Homo-oligomer: A and B are copies of this chain.
Amino acid sequence: MTREQLFEHIQKKRSFLCVGLDTDVKKIPSHLLKNEDPVFAFNKAIIDATAPYCVAYKPNLAFYESTGVKGWIALEKTVRYLHEHYPDQFIIADAKRGDIGNTSAMYARTFFEELDIDAVTVAPYMGEDSVTPFLGYDGKWVILLALTSNKGSQDFQRLQTADGMPFFEHVLRKSQEWEKAAAPDGKAGGALMYVVGATQGQAFEEIRRIVPDHFLLVPGIGAQGGSLEEVCRYGITAQCGLIVNSSRAIIYADHTEDFARVAGEKAREVQQQMAAELKKALII
């Protein structure tokens, strides 16, 4: 999906919500356990109920890998279901991969070719050759960890380097160079996004000085306590520039047979707040 297609989708849906499919077989309603594939049954119901209100889905790979082969089958079925029934949805593999060049190339092949997913989250610690193999795919996206939503983001990401910049700023600056080098038009912003946690508050202002136009994937509203309003105050751009994720607060809002309807309602509530923010920013 190109940047333009994504922006059109956001305008049409009046939403920049991503629903996180952190599907844990231990947390889904018990009546689903009689299904042959309870994880897929849950995902399908959640997707059908929330699709009108979101622009993206983000399966968290850890949750699928935790049940081995069964989990991979559920993941593949979920991705196929999205492709067949909701081809306009942006699919993000939340995988946080990153390895030496030949290995990153294998991961890229998995997510972009085998699964035909739109984007994959990547960890920057190993540097250029761990990231660039993901950049060579037309219409596919790397979402690089910059400033994450968790407490541990304080440990290394905000370390001051000798030139006075926090470490995450180096990640933002260097990776833009790699993106430009890999882009057919030499421009940044069409293949790379960044993860910036909603819990980081005013850091969005700082980040927007460095990456004024890039899309940011923002986890951490809902269960982790971040505020949508604050994220938008500093983070929203003329083309929205935000995909805000919510996982647990939507998919586990209810544990009865009514879970999908309640998840849909929760997604709709977030969508309405997002529509208000999009209006405020004169985007819709």
Residue numbers of A with Cβ under 8 A of B are 22, 24, 60, 62-63, 65-69, 72-73, 76, 94, 96-101, 103-104, 106-107, 109-110, 114-115, 123-131, 145, 148-157, 159-162, 164, 167, 170-171, 174, 219, 224
Contacts and interface: CB of A to CB of B under 8 A. Distances in A.
A103 to B, nearest CB: 5
Contacts of A123: 96, 98, 123, 125-126
Nearest to A105: B62
B161 A159 contact: yes
Question: Could you say how many copies of this chain the assembly holds?
Answer: 2
Contacts of A98: 96, 123
Given A161-B160, A170-B156, A66 B128 contact: no
Given A96-B123, A110-B68, A167 B164 contact: no
Given A115-B68, A125-B157, A148 B110 contact: no
Contacts of A161: 159-162, 167
A18 B153 CA distance: 32
Given A66-B114, A68-B115, A125-B145, 19 more contacts: A60-B103, A66-B106, A68-B72, A94-B99, A96-B97, A101-B150, A101-B152, A123-B125, A123-B126, A124-B125, A125-B148, A127-B154, A127-B156, A128-B151, A130-B152, A131-B152, A155-B174, A156-B167, A161-B167
